[in-house]
């Protein structure tokens, strides 16, 4: 028995693979293109684990995907593969269209052909689980109810539009061909192994380097923060018992404004960072916070109603924001070599272009 995970060297995918292999003997075929955010160092603990089969490749490579499906006969495909950074989608939407829409289409075609050829119990138990985002729903006003699975799609960035299109393709392949699909739409993830362009690892990395901590606009954009390992447990639960054809929202029940997240991180770093590192920030890391020009089409608020996942499948997040973010800071403090190795010259050039005052 095995599962095929796409995008399994990225932030969420790598955490899922690591958690899966701590709880299952079932092997993982891990297909990842290893673009800038895919990092095999996140999986170094699995180097000698025969249950982890890594293959470098693109979900749009039909011949490769067909070969992997035929050779390994997975009982499920979990699709994490995506371009996922809003800022990058604004500056270069083409890659997002190619990976998130065209790539998902090719993957679905390969999986459909594989599933059509299965028989009996193998066909009955097979699942295709597509991992998506709450950003497909658009933006909420301050007092609006949280996104439920029945909210209409109103994406506001090339990234969220490309993910919305992929969600529709997955639904269509179930309705048209009967492919047994499941979709999850998650809120903002944070935790170990996140590439330091997203808010939380960026704040931690810049603070420890004595660099400015850039906050878009007034910093009052609200997100529901979900610890990545809680997200992984939700995916496992949906894969195990989710109803075929259904969508499940996954949230952390932790709505926080970006500025408040930055304040929390600074306060934890004031407490935990080494004395030599703290000197870089003078009296407090909060003194490094700066406000930069807001990004185009910046959604004001996201919030997830995960009551369907809770009532149908009994899932709840285990981490509060306070507990999860402290674990996250401690992980980054203890894994500075990992951070140093992913922050290449090209990455620094990207930050200089993106976060200009």
Give the per-residue SS3 of 151-217: CCCCCCCHHHHHHHHHHHHHHHHHHHHCCCEEEEEECEEECCCCCCCCHHHHHHHHHHCCCCEEEEC
Q: 92 Cβ partners below 8 Å, 6+ apart? A: none
Q: What are phi and psi of 27, to 5 degrees?
A: -75, 160
- 248 catalytically annotated: no
- In whole angstroms, give the CA distance from residue 339 to residue 353: 20
Can you give the length of the chain in residues?
Answer: 357
Are 144 and 255 contacting, i.e. CB atoms less than 8 angstroms apart? no
Are 193 and 240 contacting, i.e. CB atoms less than 8 angstroms apart? no
Give the Cβ contact number of residue 125 at 10 Å: 12
- In whole angstroms, give the CA distance from residue 251 to residue 86: 19
Strand partners, 2: 27
Task: Tell me, yes or no, if the pTM score tops 0.75.
Answer: yes
Give the Cβ contact number of residue 311 at 10 Å: 9
- Give pLDDT, residue 348: 46
Q: What are phi and psi of 319, to 5 degrees?
A: -105, 135
- 240 catalytically annotated: no
Q: 10 Cβ partners below 8 Å, 6+ apart? A: 32, 37, 38, 39, 80, 81, 84
* Catalytic residue, candidates 134, 224, 255, 319: 134
- In whole angstroms, give the CA distance from residue 179 to residue 146: 29
Task: Calculate the dihedral angle through the C-alpha atoms of 275, 277, 280, 285, rounding to the nearest 10 degrees.
Answer: -90
- Give pLDDT, residue 197: 83
Q: What are phi and psi of 128, to 5 degrees?
A: -115, 110
- 310 catalytically annotated: no
- Let me know the angle formed at the C-alpha of 156 by 60 and 137, rounded to the nearest 5 degrees: 85
- Give pLDDT, residue 8: 97
Are 128 and 180 contacting, i.e. CB atoms less than 8 angstroms apart? yes
* Catalytic residue, candidates 135, 224, 299, 319: 135
The dihedral region occupied by 215, where left means phi > 0, alpha psi between -120 and 50, and beta the remainder, is beta
Low-confidence residues in the chain, pLDDT < 50: 281, 347-348, 350-351, 357
Domain spans in the chain, listed from the N-terminal domain onward: 2-195+225-255+297-319
* Catalytic residue, candidates 114, 137, 159, 173: 159
From 225, 223, 246, select the one nearest 327 (Cα to Cα).
Answer: 225
CATH architecture of 2-195+225-255+297-319: 3-Layer(aba) Sandwich (3.40)
Q: At how many degrees (to 10) do helices 104-117 and 158-177 cross? A: 20
**Tokens at 120, concatenated:** 């009996």
Spacing of C-alpha 289 from chain mean position = 25
Strand partners, 189: 226
- Give pLDDT, residue 35: 84
- In whole angstroms, give the CA distance from residue 80 to residue 222: 24
Are 257 and 221 contacting, i.e. CB atoms less than 8 angstroms apart? yes
**Tokens at 111, concatenated:** 């999986």
**Tokens at 300, concatenated:** 């004001």
């Amino acid at each position: 028995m095995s599962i095929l995970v796409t995008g399994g060297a990225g932030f969420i995918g790598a955490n899922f693979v690591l958690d899966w292999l701590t709880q299952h003997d079932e092997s993982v075929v891990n297909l990842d293109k290893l673009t800038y955010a895919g990092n095999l160092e996140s999986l170094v603990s699995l180097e000698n684990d025969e249950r982890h089969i890594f293959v470098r490749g693109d979900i749009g490579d039909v011949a490769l995907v067909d070969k992997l499906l035929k050779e390994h006969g997975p009982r499920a495909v979990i699709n994490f593969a995506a371009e996922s950074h809003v800022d990058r989608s604004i500056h270069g939407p083409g890659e997002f269209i190619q990976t998130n829409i065209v790539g998902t289409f090719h993957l679905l075609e390969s999986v459909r052909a594989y599933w059509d050829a299965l028989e009996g119990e193998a066909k009955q138990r097979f699942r295709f689980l597509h991992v998506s985002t709450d950003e497909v729903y658009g933006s909420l006003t301050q007092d609006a109810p949280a996104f439920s699975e029945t909210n209409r799609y109103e994406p506001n960035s090339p990234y969220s539009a490309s993910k919305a299109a992929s969600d529709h393709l997955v639904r269509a392949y179930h309705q048209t061909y009967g492919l047994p699909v499941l979709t999850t739409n998650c809120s903002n993830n944070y935790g170990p192994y996140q590439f330091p362009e997203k808010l939380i690892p960026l704040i931690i990395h810049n603070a420890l380097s004595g660099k400015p901590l850039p906050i878009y606009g007034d910093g009052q954009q609200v997100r529901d923060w979900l610890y990545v390992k809680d997200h992984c447990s939700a995916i496992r639960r949906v894969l195990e018992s989710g109803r075929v054809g259904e969508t499940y929202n996954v949230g952390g029940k932790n709505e926080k404004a970006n500025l408040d997240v930055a304040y929390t991180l600074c306060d934890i770093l004031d407490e935990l960072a080494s004395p030599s590192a703290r000197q870089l920030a003078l009296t407090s890391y909060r003194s490094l916070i700066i406000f930069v020009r807001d990004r185009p089409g910046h959604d004001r608020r996201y919030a997830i109603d995960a009551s369907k996942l809770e009532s149908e499948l009994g899932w709840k997040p285990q981490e509060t924001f306070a507990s999860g973010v402290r674990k996250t800071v401690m992980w980054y403090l203890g894994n500075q070599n990992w951070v140093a190795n992913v922050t290449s010259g090209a990455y620094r050039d990207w930050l200089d272009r993106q976060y200009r005052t």
